[in-house]
């Protein structure tokens, strides 16, 4: 996995806008594809840390409610239906992602990743480990 995508994702997760802008410059179409896959894998890892393997509908509703509060000042920049679709897709309703553009999926992934990284000290302190696991998952997906 190209380190530019990893460093971009790390900077975004840590809300370091300057570094994120630096790493996002000149991403090739292939680089954007790699970034999308890596963000999806990191999303899966962080969400499963927060919600576990089989969350209840109430668990999902709780994180959605928290996200609405956390991003209440985002003025339409965060689409909560996309976030709900991404989370539910992770837990078995994969078809929900079919109607969401990849760019919008990535925005949804990032909102959730940023929330979990910001609010969970263990995830934040082990972010490099989470990214390494995400890279491994992307490699598995590529072989499938």
The pLDDT value recorded for residue 1 is 44
Q: Is pLDDT above 70 for 97?
A: yes
Question: Residue 36: which of 16, 8, 77 has the closest Cα?
Answer: 8
When pLDDT is averaged across residues 90-118 and rounded to a whole number, the result is 95
Q: Is pLDDT above 60 for 2?
A: no
pTM: 0.94
Residues 6+ apart with CB under 8 A from 31: 2, 4, 5
When pLDDT is averaged across residues 56-77 and rounded to a whole number, the result is 92
Count of structural domains within the chain: 1
pLDDT tens, 33-65? 999 999 999 999 999 999 999 999 999 999 999
Cβ neighbourhood burial of 64 (10 Å; 0-12, 13-18, 19+):
middle
4, 128, 44, 74 alpha-carbon torsion, rounded to 10°: -70
The pLDDT value recorded for residue 144 is 84
The pLDDT value recorded for residue 80 is 94
The pLDDT value recorded for residue 36 is 95
Average pLDDT taken over every residue of the chain: 93
For the chain, give the percent of residues with pLDDT over 70: 99
3-state percent breakdown (helix, strand, coil) of the chain, nearest 5: 80, 0, 20
Cα–Cα distance, 24 to 106 (Å, whole number): 14
Q: Is pLDDT above 90 for 76?
A: no
Domain residues for the domain of 74 are 3-143
pLDDT tens, 13-25? 999 999 999 888 8
């Amino acid at each position: 996995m190209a380190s530019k995508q990893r460093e971009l994702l790390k900077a975004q997760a840590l809300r370091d806008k300057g570094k994120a802008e630096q790493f996002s410059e000149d991403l090739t179409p292939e680089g954007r594809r790699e970034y999308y896959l890596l963000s999806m894998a990191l999303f899966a890892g962080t969400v499963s840390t927060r919600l576990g393997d089989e969350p209840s509908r109430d668990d999902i509703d709780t994180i959605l409610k928290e996200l609405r509060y956390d991003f209440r000042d985002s003025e339409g920049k965060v689409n909560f239906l996309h976030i709900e679709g991404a989370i539910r897709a992770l837990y078995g309703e994969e078809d929900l992602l079919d109607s969401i553009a990849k760019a919008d999926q990535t925005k949804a992934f990032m909102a959730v990743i940023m929330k979990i990284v910001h609010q969970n000290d263990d995830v934040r302190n082990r972010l490099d480990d989470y990214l390494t696991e995400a890279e491994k998952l992307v490699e598995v997906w590529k072989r499938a």
